[in-house]
Amino acid sequence: MKNFQTIASIAIGLAACLSLQSCGKPPEVAKDSGNAKSGKLVLTGSSTIAPLAAEIGKRFESKHPGVRVDVQSGGSSRGVNDARQGLADIGMVSRALKDEEKDLQAFTIARDGVGIIIHKDNPVSSLGDEQVVSIYTGKITIWKNVGGKDGTITVVNKAEGRSTLELFTHYFKLKNSDIKAQVVIGDNQQGIKTVAGNPNSIGYVSIGAAEYDINHGSPIKLLPVSGVAATTENVKNGKFPISRPLNLITKNKPEGLTNEFINFAQSPEVEDIVKEQNFVPISR
């Protein structure tokens, strides 16, 4: 009888354990089936790419709730250095890689141009290349000398390490040490706000960033370069002379979550985001 009671007690105990899925242990969570992604990605670098990458990151997070995408700006040089040193999973570089950077992997997600901006109330409608050089080297200091009002020109330049500076000086055959600037700024938004707040200023920024802000009421305008209007459309058709790729870079061949994000950033799934930010989508 005692043996029967013991057996019965064991059976009841086993049934209770089975009904609770375990005896005293929390139920096991089903392992990742392969579709769910989790983890954190850190992107650093170009201030031109940062807003685009942030929006792409938000959409990527919405598809993969377990993923967090942290986007930090600081310039293309930071993107290169951080990717090399492992401080970021992905660097952002708004130009083609230099010869000494070819050890890195680059993945283009869009194209953009660099355009000259002035205040929208400035009557100047165009500047020749030589006039731009003369303004930036301090040979022309009054707007009246290039068809504007009688005001002193405020030259706005980009800080070292910014790819827009490199493209600007390369196109106009300038050395940064030759530029006589009254204001030195970091990212595109600083440049746009500076010019918008000073009717006598001149600067240069991402065409995509400038068009976006113009469409949202910023009092600036883009000047043509070599007679070609500074528009996203002219970057797309190859007519605008100062254009560049917007790249995501990695130290090694990307794997796992990093590879998933880069593929997503190059996919048609984000083409609407690229266009909304006034950049040129890549052809896949």
Q: What is the pLDDT of residue 281?
A: 92
Q: What does the alpha-carbon distance between residue 97 and residue 104 come to, in Å, rounded to a whole number?
A: 8
pLDDT at 158 over 70: yes
pLDDT at 136 over 90: yes
Question: If you average pLDDT over every residue of the chain, what do you get?
Answer: 88
Residues above pLDDT 90, as percent of the chain: 82
Q: What is the pLDDT of residue 282?
A: 87
| pLDDT tens per residue, range 16-34 | 433 333 333 333 332 333 4
Backbone angles phi, psi at 108, to 5 degrees: -75, 130
Q: What does the alpha-carbon distance between residue 39 and residue 90 come to, in Å, rounded to a whole number?
A: 14
Domains of the chain, start order? 38-112+244-281 (3.40.190.10), 113-236 (3.40.190.10)
Q: Choose the weakest-confidence range: 8-17, 39-48, 123-132, 269-278.
A: 8-17
pLDDT at 269 over 50: yes
The answer to whether residues 64 and 37 touch, using CB atoms and an 8 Å cutoff, is yes
CA atoms within 13 A on the CB side of 43: 27
49 contacts: CB under 8 Å, gap ≥ 6: 92, 93, 94, 109, 246, 247, 248
Across 129-135, average pLDDT: 98
Q: What is the pLDDT of residue 151?
A: 95
Across 255-273, average pLDDT: 96
**Segments in the chain forming alpha helices (H):** 2-19, 50-63, 76-85, 129-136, 163-171, 188-196, 207-215, 232-236, 256-265, 271-276
Q: What is the 3-state secondary structure (H, E, C) of 228-264?
A: ECCCHHHHHCCCCCCEEEEEEEECCCCCHHHHHHHHH
pLDDT at 173 over 80: yes
Q: What is the pLDDT of residue 170?
A: 93
pLDDT at 235 over 90: yes
Q: What is the pLDDT of residue 36?
A: 60
pLDDT at 272 over 50: yes
For the full predicted model, state whether its pTM sits above 0.85: no
pLDDT band at 106 (very low <50, low <70, confident <90, very high): very high
